[in-house]
Amino acid sequence: MPKKIVALTDYIAAGDAALLLTAKMGRPISPKYIRKLANRKKLPSVRVEQMGNRLLYHRGDIEASTIRERKG
């Protein structure tokens, strides 16, 4: 079965996703937290082999997501 062709212009790396969410939320969000969300299947990701096997995240999913502040 052929692989689905993905438009890479719609996807961003974890560092760029963290910057986008930091600006949106008004508090720091780390790239490590973005990767943690993807590992927990809370944030869809796509693996791109042409870029050294990096995980990329859909820009629309990042912009639509909200992150609650921790209590405490």
Q: Assess if residue 69 is contained within a domain.
A: no
User: Which residue segment(s) compose the domain that 26 sits in?
Assistant: 8-64
Number of domains in the chain: 1
Q: What is the full DSSP assignment across 37-67?
A: HHHTTSS-EEEEGGGTSEEEEEHHHHHH---
Q: What is the mean pLDDT of the chain?
A: 82
pLDDT of residue 50: 63
Q: Assess if residue 16 is contained within a domain.
A: yes
Q: Assess if residue 72 is contained within a domain.
A: no
Q: Assess if residue 2 is contained within a domain.
A: no
The pLDDT tens digits for 19-49 are: 999 999 999 999 998 888 888 877 777 776 6
Q: Assess if residue 18 is contained within a domain.
A: yes
Query: Is the distance from CB of 55 to CB of 38 less than 8 angstroms?
Result: yes
Q: Token match 């692989």: residue?
A: 3
